[in-house]
């Protein structure tokens, strides 16, 4: 069925199937056509792409993706929605619908089964209660993903693309920079969703690097240092690293490392770039 607008489509389906929204699954459906167009444009999806959509919901974005992409694999946790999607999107033969928790899905396996082992584009209006675990899980597992164009809470998008020294800069910004190039594609007010959430949102595109932008000997050590520094961002690096439960360096050792790396003793982590953290981590790992 063709609908005049995403809002009308959503209302029709919610009423027809007597669907009730489940807060625990972060169900806020996008009802603004211009925002849907912006997501599609930012993703640059085309007929050669296989898309992995996380949380298709009532299928508004899914239907647009089905018209643009070669294939859409949609993973939805809510069994009620899976049933609705099966019926409402039955005319499309390029949809693979999987009723599962995305955190339990093996993306490498999905890519072998449905995309000849090649990387997906991820396009999604993410459930906000697990945005960071989903994105970091994809990065850290090395899942076959080309890029992700995702709707996230506005504050999370701002942290992802924050620059050194700004108030939003932190462990999430550095983790994103290590794996991908961020681009904030749109800011989205809360009235573009049904039901209306308590926060504003933003669409961010993360293009995964083929090669990491910095070389670091011990990735885990670098991220432990980063976490220690930003868990206590008001402290000097010497105090935050030496005080961390996950690390076992003395103040004198850190002082010596900072000297070797060319930093002052009273430096704080807030202004350091990813390559400076890599440099400190490499000297500490020796």
Chain residues binding ligand SAM by CB under 6 A are 25-30, 54-57, 60-61, 75-78, 81, 101-103, 125, 127, 130
Q: Report the nearest approach of ligand SAM to the CB of residue 6 (Å).
A: 8
- When the beta carbons of 77 and 122 are compared against ligand SAM, the nearer one is 77
Sign of CA dihedral 14, 15, 17, 19: positive
Q: Report the nearest approach of ligand SAM to the CB of residue 34 (Å).
A: 14
Q: Report the nearest approach of ligand SAM to the CB of residue 60 (Å).
A: 5
Helix (H) / strand (E) element for 54: namely strand 50-54
- When the beta carbons of 78 and 158 are compared against ligand SAM, the nearer one is 78
- When the beta carbons of 78 and 147 are compared against ligand SAM, the nearer one is 78
Contacts (Cβ under 8 Å, ≥6 apart) of 167: none
- Position of minimal CB gap to ligand SAM: 55
Q: Report the nearest approach of ligand SAM to the CB of residue 80 (Å).
A: 9
Buried residues in 69-97 as b, exposed as e (16+ CB within 10 A): bebbbbbbbbeebbebbeebbeebeebeb
Contacts (Cβ under 8 Å, ≥6 apart) of 274: 174, 177, 178, 213, 214
> Can you tell me the distance from the alpha carbon of 75 to that of 102, in angstroms, rounded to the nearest whole number?
6
| Terminal C-alpha separation, the chain | 64
DSSP 134-196: HHHHHHHHT-SEEEEEEEEEHHHHHHHTPPTTSTT-SHHHHHHHHHEEEEEEEEE-GGGEES-
- When the beta carbons of 57 and 144 are compared against ligand SAM, the nearer one is 57
Q: Report the nearest approach of ligand SAM to the CB of residue 187 (Å).
A: 16
The encoded tokens of residue 140 equal 């850290």
The encoded tokens of residue 247 equal 């690390």
> Can you tell me the distance from the alpha carbon of 140 to that of 73, in angstroms, rounded to the nearest whole number?
21
- When the beta carbons of 78 and 282 are compared against ligand SAM, the nearer one is 78
- When the beta carbons of 55 and 170 are compared against ligand SAM, the nearer one is 55
Q: Report the nearest approach of ligand SAM to the CB of residue 10 (Å).
A: 7
- When the beta carbons of 29 and 223 are compared against ligand SAM, the nearer one is 29
Cβ neighbour number for residue 36 with a 10 Å cutoff: 20
Q: Report the nearest approach of ligand SAM to the CB of residue 218 (Å).
A: 31
């Amino acid at each position: 069925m063709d609908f005049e607008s995403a809002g009308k489509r959503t209302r029709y389906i919610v009423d027809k199937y007597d669907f009730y929204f489940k807060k625990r699954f972060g169900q806020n459906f996008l009802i603004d056509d211009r925002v849907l167009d912006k997501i599609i444009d930012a993703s640059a999806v085309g007929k050669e792409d296989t898309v992995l959509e996380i949380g298709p919901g009532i299928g508004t974005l899914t239907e647009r993706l089905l018209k643009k992409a070669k294939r859409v694999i949609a993973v939805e946790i809510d069994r009620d929605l899976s049933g609705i999607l099966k019926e409402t999107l039955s005319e499309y033969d390029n949809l693979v619908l999987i009723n599962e928790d995305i955190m339990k899905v093996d993306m490498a396996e999905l890519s072998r089964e449905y995309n000849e082992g090649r990387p997906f584009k991820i396009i999604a209006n993410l459930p906000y209660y697990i945005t960071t675990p989903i994105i970091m899980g994809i990065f850290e597992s090395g899942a076959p993903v080309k890029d992700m164009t995702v709707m996230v809470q506005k504050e999370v998008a701002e942290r992802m693309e924050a620059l050194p020294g700004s108030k939003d800069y932190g462990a999430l910004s550095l983790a994103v920079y290590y794996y991908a190039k961020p681009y904030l594609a749109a800011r989205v007010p809360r009235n573009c969703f049904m039901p209306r959430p308590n926060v504003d949102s933003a669409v961010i595109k993360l293009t995964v690097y083929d090669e990491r932008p910095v070389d670091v000997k011990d990735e885990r050590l670098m991220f432990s240092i980063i976490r220690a520094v930003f868990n206590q961002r008001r402290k000097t690096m010497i105090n935050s690293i030496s005080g961390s439960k996950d690390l076992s360096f003395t103040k004198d050792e850190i002082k010596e490392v900072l000297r070797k790396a060319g930093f002052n003793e009273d430096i704080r982590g807030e202004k350091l770039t990813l390559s400076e953290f890599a440099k400190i981590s490499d000297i500490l790992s020796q």
